[in-house]
Structure 1
Amino acid sequence: MSILEIKGLSVSYGAIKALEGIDLRIEEGEIVSLLGANGAGKTTALRAISRLLPIQGGDILFQGKSITQVPVHGVVSLGIAHVPEGRGVFPSLTVQENLKLGTWANKRKSAIPDLRQEVYRIFPRLEERKTQLAGTLSGGEQQMLALGRAMMTDCRVMLLDEPSMGLSPLFVKEVFRVIKEINATKGTTILLVEQNANMALKIAHRGYVLETGNIVLEGTSKDLAHDPRVKEAYLGHQ
């Protein structure tokens, strides 16, 4: 049984169809990348899973059970954390206060100290800056904080929306290394939306390609990386 499965998911913005009956599945412990141009429906898919958007048709299953009627806070409590595009940290709160906000839906309160230590182990820079206001951090440090806050929810599945956007090449490399480490050491399942298709396919196990609200390709990352259509559209003939 897949940990997360989308069946015939349709989402519209008024008369505009953003997703037209897409299907995808993610097995426990996988990193799955969702590729596509701007406007293809990638962010819409993540927001629908998180229940931030109403859906017009289809179903979203988490561990085999439908979550389409579950409110946003309930989705977090179930074990799905969403790291939004633009990071979404609270600039007027400190690093440690931002991390603490990630624990409000955590049902294993006894695990919080260990989770915090794990965050600081993976992101030592956050520990160095724990009393610093999040708004004063660099873009790369804010992305680390957003990932750390998601870890504090004790999630089973992490939805990542454009984690490398606006970061320096050095931080991009670091963010992808960390995503791989979170997956490998904690077994966290990851659905990754990422413009940097080359980097995404390097760390993902499998991938899907979205075009104008439809899934047009799916396969292992290796197969997608060698597919002429993916090379042409997303990998710059690499």
Structure 2
Amino acid sequence: MSLLEIKGIGVSYGAIKALEEIDLHIDEGEIVSLLGANGAGKTTALRAISRLLPIDRGDILFQGKSITQVPVHDVVSQGIAHVPEGRGIFPSLTVLENLNLGSWTCKRKSALPNLRREVFRIFPRLEERKSQLAGTLSGGEQQMLALGRAMMTDCRVMLLDEPSMGLSPLLVKEVFQVIREINTRGTTILLVEQNANMALKIAHRGYVLENGRIVLGGSSQELAHDPRVKEAYLGHQ
């Protein structure tokens, strides 16, 4: 049984069909990348999984149970954390206050001290700046804070939407190293990322979305060598 399974979901914005009959699965411990051009439906898929958007049809299963009628806050407390495009931090709160907000829905309150220590181990700059207002952090530090806040939910699955957006090449490399480390410590990851090269380097498998439909799926190695993926996303490498 897959940890997270999406079965034939459809999502519409009024008369516009954003997703049509999407099927994908993520097994525990995997990093799965979701590739596609702007407007293909990648962010919509993540927002549907985290219940920020209603679905027209189909089902979303987490640990074998449907979550399509579960409120957003219950989805988080069950173990799915969403790091949105643009990071979504609270700029007028301190770094520590942002992290504490992430722990609000954590069911294992006894685990919070260890989670905080783990966040500061992976992101030592956040510990150095824990009393600093989040809005004064650099773009890379804000992305680290968004990842750390998701870790504080004690999640089993992390949905990442464009974590490298707006970052320098050096910071992009650092962020992807951190994503790999978060995965190594036991968190399953669904990754939406425009940087297809980097995404396929760290992912185990991937899917390609076009116009709201999945048109390709396979191992990262298979996708990286597929002529269609090379042509559209990998710069003919």
The reply to whether TM is greater than 0.5 is: yes
| CA distances 1:60-98 after superposition (whole Å, capped 9, x unpaired) | 000000000000000001000000000000000000000
State the secondary structure of the residue aligned to 2:155.
Answer: coil
Within-5 A mapping of 1:1-238 = 1-184=1-184, 186-238=185-237
CA RMSD of aligned residues (A): 0.3
| Distance in 1 of aligned mates of 2:170 and 2:88 | 21
| Distance in 1 of aligned mates of 2:112 and 2:101 | 11
State the secondary structure of the residue aligned to 2:217.
Answer: strand
| Distance in 2 of aligned mates of 1:148 and 1:22 | 30
| CA distances 1:155-207 after superposition (whole Å, capped 9, x unpaired) | 000000000000011110000000000001x2100000000000000000000
Query: Residue type matched to 2:160 in 1?
Result: L
Query: Residue type matched to 1:222 in 2?
Result: Q
| Distance in 1 of aligned mates of 2:134 and 2:97 | 9
| Distance in 2 of aligned mates of 1:31 and 1:207 | 8
| Distance in 1 of aligned mates of 2:210 and 2:235 | 17
| Distance in 2 of aligned mates of 1:175 and 1:46 | 20
Runs of 4+ with >6 A deviation: none
| Distance in 1 of aligned mates of 2:110 and 2:214 | 41
Return the offset for 1:129: 0.4
| CA distances 1:21-68 after superposition (whole Å, capped 9, x unpaired) | 110000000000000000000000000000000110000000000000
Query: Residue type matched to 1:159 in 2?
Result: L
| Distance in 1 of aligned mates of 2:25 and 2:55 | 18
Query: Residue type matched to 2:117 in 1?
Result: Q
State the secondary structure of the residue aligned to 2:34.
Answer: strand
TM-score (norm 1): 0.99
State the secondary structure of the residue aligned to 1:54.
Answer: coil
Query: Residue type matched to 1:121 in 2?
Result: R
Give the gaps of 5 or more residues in structure 1: none
| CA distances 1:105-125 after superposition (whole Å, capped 9, x unpaired) | 000000000000000000000
| Distance in 1 of aligned mates of 2:18 and 2:171 | 31
| Distance in 2 of aligned mates of 1:161 and 1:151 | 15
TM-score (norm 2): 1.00
State the secondary structure of the residue aligned to 1:181.
Answer: helix
Q: What is the number of residues matched between the two proteins?
A: 237
| Distance in 2 of aligned mates of 1:85 and 1:164 | 9
Query: Residue type matched to 1:74 in 2?
Result: D
